[in-house]
Structure 1
Amino acid sequence: MTVSSLHKPTSAEAATTAPALDYKIVPGEPSDAEAIASLGGRVFYESFAHSMPADDMATYLATTYTRDLIHAEMLDARHTFFVARDTASDRLLGFAQLTTGSSEPCLSSVAAERGIELQRIYTDSAAHGRGIGSALFDRALEYARPRYDAVWLGVWEENEKAQRFYTRHGFHRVGEHDFKIGTCVQTDWILERHFEKDEPAGR
């Protein structure tokens, strides 16, 4: 499940942060596992704690956002990570995770057979407004485009901000699935986008 950490800077923000970005997007390394697990768990809690029982949330975090699990995923060739780092402090500000081999029954044959899942894009809430989520999204698509024919993702049905973002960037809804966390069952919309092989390297 992706979360709503995709924020484009306003024109005023862009004017104050130009001409250079104060962060960099680089491939994730296994040594980033602890920071990714910490950030992922924190952002997931901030985004969804209000929508489920506390016990379900605690169990999910304890079994999903652990250093060992993220480290194992980073060593697994099916997963590709990109991270955003503050250029001054080198602190992790966000990450994107792409995953192959996953699927949903509602996906088109193109996405199911020759696609990749954009599984997560998370950014530190303290760093919102710097365009980090959008930069991670761009880098994820830049990676996926020459290697796959489509990209797909799941987004919470109540996350209208993220839904609008993905729609603007060529995704369309193809179905939904249940996202189960303990006794809590939430609905994710499944979105996909097909790549045109002659489209430019940017969005």
Structure 2
Amino acid sequence: MDKIIIRRLSADDIEMLQNISVNTFIDTYAGHNTAENMQHYLQQHFSREQLLTELINGNNYFFAAFDNDIPAGYTKLRTFENPEQLPGRKHIELERIYTVKKYQGMGLGHRMMQYSLDFASVKGYELLWLGVWEHNEKALKFYTKFGFEIFGEHTFTLGSEEQTDWLMKKELSPA
């Protein structure tokens, strides 16, 4: 895994982004949700049209990690959401960070997170924040190791089910 390259995605990467988005979301959440709710969410958020709209929106930044040209994970950062708990702070959200199952436990998530933190710092953001499902203990532990702290919660709707996400933030050092 020493040949990992992380690069920003463009509209030319839409097929790869859709495949990795769907597969990593299923791997992460299918065991905790109904097939109907999963299908609804996948159609709503990971359709080709939706992802293409997000890719070309200047408020979004998609990055993927490649292992010898094989997609191994991706992140999505966005700047337009403004949680009421962060007034007056220059912030960016880490909306998605997913690693392909076969690359989990190999340090790839750490590399993608560090890349996201560095990107946000270079862009002059004061903090990086995210939402994480309250029952995703593995992710909560991962974010806590990076120094993220819970500052609130919000409702995440998956199909017909409402779930609680913890909102977590990390103060950034200027680059």
TM-score, normalised via structure 2 length: 0.92
Q: 1:130 Cα deviation (Å)? A: 2.7
| Amino acid across the alignment from 1:53 | T
SS in 2 for 1:72: helix
Contact 1:171 1:191 in 2 (8 A): yes
Contact 2:117 2:172 in 1 (8 A): no
Identical residues among aligned pairs (%): 33
Aligned to 1:70: 51
C-alpha distance in 2 between matches for 1:148 and 1:182: 33
| Amino acid across the alignment from 2:52 | H
C-alpha distance in 2 between matches for 1:118 and 1:179: 15
Confirm or deny that 1:179 pairs with 2:160. no
Confirm or deny that 1:136 pairs with 2:112. yes
Contact 2:61 2:76 in 1 (8 A): yes
C-alpha distance in 2 between matches for 1:131 and 1:26: 17
Q: How does 1:1-203 map to 2 (within 5 A)?
A: 21-87=2-68, 90-105=69-84, 107-110=85-88, 113-146=89-122, 147-197=124-174
| Amino acid across the alignment from 1:51 | H
Consecutive unaligned residues of structure 2, counting only runs of 5 or more, are none
> How many equivalent pairs are there?
174
Q: Deviations over 1:70-128 (max 9, x none)?
A: 122111110011111122xx1211111100011223x2325xx4100000011111222
| Amino acid across the alignment from 2:115 | R
| Amino acid across the alignment from 2:108 | I
Q: Deviations over 1:11-54 (max 9, x none)?
A: xxxxxx6xxx1321111122112211111111111211122221
SS in 2 for 1:109: coil
Structure (1/2) with the larger strand percentage:
2
| Amino acid across the alignment from 1:109 | P
C-alpha distance in 2 between matches for 1:134 and 1:162: 11
CA RMSD of aligned residues (A): 1.5
C-alpha distance in 1 between matches for 2:98 and 2:34: 22
| Amino acid across the alignment from 1:103 | N
Higher relative contact order (CA 8 A, sep 6+): 1
Computing the radius of gyration from Cα coordinates, the structure with the larger value is: 1
Contact 1:53 1:184 in 2 (8 A): no
TM-score, normalised via structure 1 length: 0.80
Q: Deviations over 1:140-190 (max 9, x none)?
A: 111101321111000110111211221221211011111112221111000
Contact 1:34 1:66 in 2 (8 A): no
Consecutive unaligned residues of structure 1, counting only runs of 5 or more, are 1-16
| Amino acid across the alignment from 1:139 | Y
SS in 2 for 1:145: helix
C-alpha distance in 2 between matches for 1:131 and 1:196: 23
